[in-house]
């Protein structure tokens, strides 16, 4: 890969990682409320489930499929927990600029992934997962948790972090294996 291509790739990755965080920070200057935070949390989990479903359809790599299955199961478990909690609290998750932007970005990412196949798809999907989990972890730690008023919602966000960090480690391990397999 040429130096120029590498530089472009680094810029694209950096933009992707920071996009979610920047947007949430911008929105949080207007102060997100708990109903909006709940909507962002559920949306972020739904996005990863949808991307994983695409990976299950397109990949034939056992590690990638196993990872995608785990993403579907784990993020659905978090969604269930969040939905039960908001019902218990009597809160209706409110759509907001951040969740709308997240859905728009996710649609674009899935559309790009959809065009790839084989090894190229596996690498693109796992790179996306590394980037996405880094962004979500940073947003939860630095923006969502500090802005959440309700203790139970805050507990849920804190409780989800170890799973997200484990997903990131798994994705990075698979990323390394795919690199060893043929390089970028």
Partner 1 sequence: MMAAINSAKLVIAFTLLLLISCSGQQKKDTTDTHVIRIKQMSFVPETLTVSQGDSVTWINKDIVAHNIKSDSPEGWKSPKLKQGESYTVKIIGETNYICTLHPVMKGNIQVQH
Catalog residues that contact partner 1 under the rule CB under 8 A.
66, 69-70, 73-74, 77-78, 81, 159-160, 162-163, 165-166, 169-170, 173
Q: How far is the CB of 176 from partner 1 (least distance, A)?
A: 12
Cα 113 to Cα 105: distance, rounded to the nearest angstrom = 12
Cα 153 to Cα 43: distance, rounded to the nearest angstrom = 15
69 vs 120, beta carbon nearer partner 1: 69
115 vs 180, beta carbon nearer partner 1: 180
Cα 114 to Cα 164: distance, rounded to the nearest angstrom = 24
* Coil, helix or strand at residue 95: coil
Q: How far is the CB of 48 from partner 1 (least distance, A)?
A: 13
Q: How far is the CB of 163 from partner 1 (least distance, A)?
A: 5
74 vs 129, beta carbon nearer partner 1: 74
On whether the CB atoms of residues 117 and 55 are closer than 8 A, the answer is no
Percent helix, percent strand, percent coil in the chain, to nearest 5 = 85, 0, 15
**Which CB contacts under 8 angstroms, 24+ apart, belong to 79-82?**
79/42, 79/45, 79/46, 79/49, 81/156, 82/38, 82/41, 82/42, 82/45, 82/156
Structure-token pair, residue 140: 């939860």
97 vs 141, beta carbon nearer partner 1: 141
Q: How far is the CB of 62 from partner 1 (least distance, A)?
A: 11
Cα 64 to Cα 116: distance, rounded to the nearest angstrom = 15
Q: How far is the CB of 34 from partner 1 (least distance, A)?
A: 19
52 vs 101, beta carbon nearer partner 1: 52
């Amino acid at each position: 890969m040429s130096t120029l291509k590498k530089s472009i790739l680094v810029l694209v990755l950096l933009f992707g990682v920071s996009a979610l965080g920047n947007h949430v920070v911008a929105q949080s200057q207007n102060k997100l409320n708990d109903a909006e935070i709940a909507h962002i949390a559920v949306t972020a989990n739904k996005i990863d489930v949808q991307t994983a479903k695409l990976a299950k359809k397109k990949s034939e790599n056992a590690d990638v499929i196993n990872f995608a299955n785990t993403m579907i199961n784990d993020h659905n478990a978090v969604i269930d927990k969040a939905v039960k909690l908001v019902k218990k609290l009597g809160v209706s998750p409110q759509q907001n600029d951040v969740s709308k932007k997240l859905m728009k970005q996710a649609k674009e990412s899935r559309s790009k992934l959809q065009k790839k196949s084989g090894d190229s798809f596996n690498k693109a999907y796992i790179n996306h997962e590394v980037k996405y989990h880094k962004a979500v972890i940073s947003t939860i730690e630095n923006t969502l948790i500090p802005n959440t008023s309700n203790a139970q919602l805050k507990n849920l966000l804190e409780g989800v972090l170890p799973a997200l960090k484990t997903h990131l480690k798994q994705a990075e391990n698979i990323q390394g294996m795919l690199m060893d397999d043929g390089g970028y």
